[in-house]
Amino acid sequence: MSDKKQDTTHFGYQEVPVDEKVKRVADVFHSVAGKYDLMNDLMSGGIHRLWKRLTIEQSGARAGMQVLDIAGGTGDLTRKFSRLVGPSGKVVLADINDSMLKVGRDKLINAGAAGNIEYVQANAECLPFADNTFDIITIAFGLRNVTDKDAALRSMQRVLKPGGKLMVLEFSKTDNPLLTKAYDFYSFNILPQMGKLIADDAESYRYLAESIRMHPDQETLKQMMNDAGFVGCRYQNMTGGVVALHTGIKP
């Protein structure tokens, strides 16, 4: 027997039918794909590059490894992992959104990316890979858009090799009241206007701001990873908790 909680989910601050959220999120990223890199730089003042660099540095990626970059979008992490794992390794850039995947593939090919990259359109909740395939899985700024986050974490745990590492880089919660106030003002006033000006799409960026607020806080996500079967789960706050990097190991 189903109930309202199972049948609906959050799309930003709205409550929508579960099957409708996937389409709505897809529409957002179809809309923003072409300006995604530019908007990331503008929205974060370029700091997203530092957050991603720290993720790479802490990944432990080395030659010969198999890496899965979920919600990899325009390929920032994939490109760096490709260099680290070398010709004997492999990086899979996976995204549920074909517009984002095409932008990422074109960007990487134009940059002369190595032949050790594969591109797969995939839903994080039911990853189309065999058990125990990957040494490292990353999902950067993508988990908050997943409808069933618990299912996605279990799916990631399944396809990791024993001893493999999951890294979740995501906007999170700051415990500094002044920073929170400034962040909220920026997110709900400045960000949609930037989206309107640069990408001619204020609504998509309003959703992105709302989706950040609806995402689980640091301790909640850490517990979700524990519940999905990961061990040694921990997180590191960046920029005062605006962003957090969660890591967990498959036993």
Has 124 been labeled as part of a binding site?
A: yes
Phi, psi for 107 (deg, rounded to 5) = -65, -45
Residue 120 CA to residue 134 CA, distance in Å, equals 14
Residue 95 assigned ligand-binding role: yes
133 is in an annotated binding site: no
Alpha-carbon distance 68 to 182, whole Å? Answer: 35
Strand, coil or helix: 100: helix
* Residue 238: other Cβ atoms inside 10 A: 17
Cα dihedral 143, 148, 150, 156, rounded to 10, equals -60
CB burial class (10 A; 0-12, 13-18, 19+) of residue 236? Answer: middle
**Is 201 annotated to bind ligand?**
no
- Calculate the CA dihedral of residues 98, 90, 38, 100 and round it to 10 degrees: 0
Residues in binding site for S-adenosyl-L-methionine: 74, 95, 123-124
Binding-site residues sit at: 74, 95, 123-124
